[in-house]
Amino acid sequence: MSHRNVTDMANPQQELETSKQLLEAILDNLVDGILTFDEKGVIQLVNRAGVYIFGYEGDELIGQNIRILIPSLANDASQKELKELLKQVSGLGDELEGQRKDGRIFPMYFAVSEVNLDHQKVYTAIIQDFTERKFMEAQVWEKERLNIELEKERGLRDVKNSFISMMSHDLKTPLAAIRLASSMLRNYGDRSSAEEKEETYDTIDQQVEHLTELINDVMIISRQDFTGAELDREIIDLETYCRDIIEELQLAYRMKRTLNFNGTDRRIEALIDVKMMRRALTNLLTNAIKYSPEGAPVNMELAYADCQAIIKISDHGIGIPQEDLPRLFEPFSRASNVGGIPGTGLGLAIAKQAMDLHGGSITVASELGKGTTFTIILPAEDC
Ligand code: ATP
Ligand code: MG
């Protein structure tokens, strides 16, 4: 860029004219709209971009009131709104609605600065048309929204897929056992002893029970509308209740595992759905058994603190990797170190749901290779 030395200029009138032209050229080549107006809002000057942004031509805007460009000022007879607006947009400016000549409304950035010229206030406004920017913003938002939807959809599909593969696996095993038992009865029934037959019937019963349980689990998990009102609650003595569950399991595992119980002297009662709670506690105990080596004992402890019953179930088993802990209570979630130990990953989700419905909580603490402790807290009765 070049400039002339002021002293070179002979004629001040010419000099003024030249700098006016220069200023106009600069203003006209700006991409931002510039317009000046007086205290009443009457437009005195507007650059080419300003005229273009509002959809006018030539000098059409000169002498008009800026009210025709800003719909919020349309009924501004008292000038009060103009003053308020000037306050709002002075300095850093603000986003406003603009109105084009054809009536279309568009988003714009509008910043005003005030100058005093010959005891008169003159306002200079800088205007940017935000239509494109808004459009781009909307596109970015839309893209983001679609991505989230897609992600959700993918998540759902993953859950569905793992659900189907888990379910088909888990359903197939007992079904195969039932089929085997029934074909044994059909083909060898008349040659089998009464005892053998009884055993085969038992197998069928057990597998049917297992299947029923599995289907019940899935139904519980898929019932999002469970409110707790459906619970069949009664007040029970927790120690007797826990001891019964342990005894039952000890029988099921044919006494091969040592299941210890530690109670307290205090009688602790709770209002619970006996069946649902049994399902939760049994899963915690069978987990402790199946995820620890055969000789290792499993402990159940019942305690009381601040109107709450605390049940801890701990083992000295394989533990749970830290990175698997956050999703452990989600349906079908299984830790990476389960190896060949069978499971569906529904037990803990059901336990969690049971605790939520009882106004309680369940948490886990685990050390890989050392063992795991699940802690249940339930509101105690009568306190
Ligand atoms: P099921 O639906 O038959 O109970 P599961 O036992 O695999 O199957 P959950 O009881 O929900 O499912 O447990 C989820 C996962 O948490 C398990 O697969 C296992 O990885 C981990 N886990 C739970 N309890 C223990 C434990 N005591 N020790 C180590 N890992 C455990
Ligand atoms: Mg389990």
Sequence-distant (≥ 6) Cβ neighbours of residue 341 within 8 angstroms: 290, 291
Note whether residue 2 is domain-resident: no
Sequence-distant (≥ 6) Cβ neighbours of residue 230 within 8 angstroms: none
Q: Are residues 290 and 335 in the same domain?
A: yes
Ligand 1 contacts CB of residue 41 (under 6 A):
no
Q: Are residues 244 and 373 in the same domain?
A: yes
Locate the ligand 1 atom nearest the alpha carbon of residue 337 and give its number.
20
pLDDT at residue 246, as a whole number: 93
Return the sign of the alpha-carbon dihedral for residues 344, 346, 351, 354: negative
Please write the tens of the pLDDT for every residue from 305-362.
999 999 999 999 999 999 999 999 988 889 999 999 988 888 898 899 889 989 999 9
Q: Are residues 252 and 344 in the same domain?
A: yes
Domain end point (choices 78, 95, 129): 129
pLDDT at residue 248, as a whole number: 87
Q: Are residues 310 and 259 in the same domain?
A: yes
Mutation to probe ligand 1, out of 289, 348, 363, 368 (largest number of atoms < 8 A from CB): 348
Q: Are residues 99 and 80 in the same domain?
A: yes
pLDDT at residue 169, as a whole number: 66
Q: Whose CA is nearest to atom 16 of ligand 1?
A: 334
Nearest one of 351, 347, 349, 358 to 228, comparing CA atoms: 358
pLDDT tens sequence for the chain (383 residues): 444 455 555 688 888 888 888 888 888 888 899 999 999 999 999 999 999 999 999 899 999 999 999 999 888 777 888 999 998 888 889 999 999 999 999 999 999 999 888 888 899 999 999 998 889 999 999 999 999 999 888 877 776 676 676 667 677 778 888 888 898 889 888 888 999 899 899 989 988 987 887 787 777 766 656 666 677 899 999 999 999 999 988 887 776 788 999 999 899 999 999 988 998 999 999 999 999 998 899 999 999 999 999 999 999 999 999 999 999 998 888 999 999 998 888 889 889 988 998 999 999 999 999 999 999 999 999 77
Note whether residue 364 is domain-resident: yes
Ligand 1 contacts CB of residue 47 (under 6 A):
no
Residue 161 to residue 178: CA distance in whole angstroms: 26
How far is the centre of ligand 2, averaged over its atoms, from the C-alpha of 334 (Å)?
9
Q: Whose CA is nearest to atom 24 of ligand 1?
A: 287
Q: Are residues 239 and 326 in the same domain?
A: yes
Q: Are residues 210 and 85 in the same domain?
A: no
Sequence-distant (≥ 6) Cβ neighbours of residue 205 within 8 angstroms: none
Q: What b/e string do you get for 215-242 counting C-beta neighbours within 10 Å, with b at 16 or more?
A: eebbebbeeeeeeeeebeeeebebbebb
How far is the centre of ligand 1, averaged over its atoms, from the C-alpha of 234 (Å)?
28
pLDDT at residue 1, as a whole number: 42
Locate the ligand 1 atom nearest the alpha carbon of residue 350 and give its number.
11
pTM, two decimal places: 0.56
Structural domain span for residue 305: 233-379
Locate the ligand 1 atom nearest the alpha carbon of residue 318 and give its number.
29
Locate the ligand 1 atom nearest the alpha carbon of residue 374 and give its number.
27
Ligand 1 contacts CB of residue 346 (under 6 A):
yes
Domain end point (choices 94, 129, 164): 129
- Give the Å distances, CA to CA, from 174 to 70, 140, 199, 369: 74, 51, 16, 31
Nearest one of 89, 124, 123 to 108, comparing CA atoms: 89
pLDDT at residue 242, as a whole number: 96
Residue 369 to residue 366: CA distance in whole angstroms: 9
pLDDT at residue 214, as a whole number: 77
Q: Whose CA is nearest to atom 12 of ligand 1?
A: 345
How far is the centre of ligand 2, averaged over its atoms, from the C-alpha of 234 (Å)?
25
Ligand 1 contacts CB of residue 353 (under 6 A):
no
How far is the centre of ligand 2, averaged over its atoms, from the C-alpha of 167 (Å)?
15
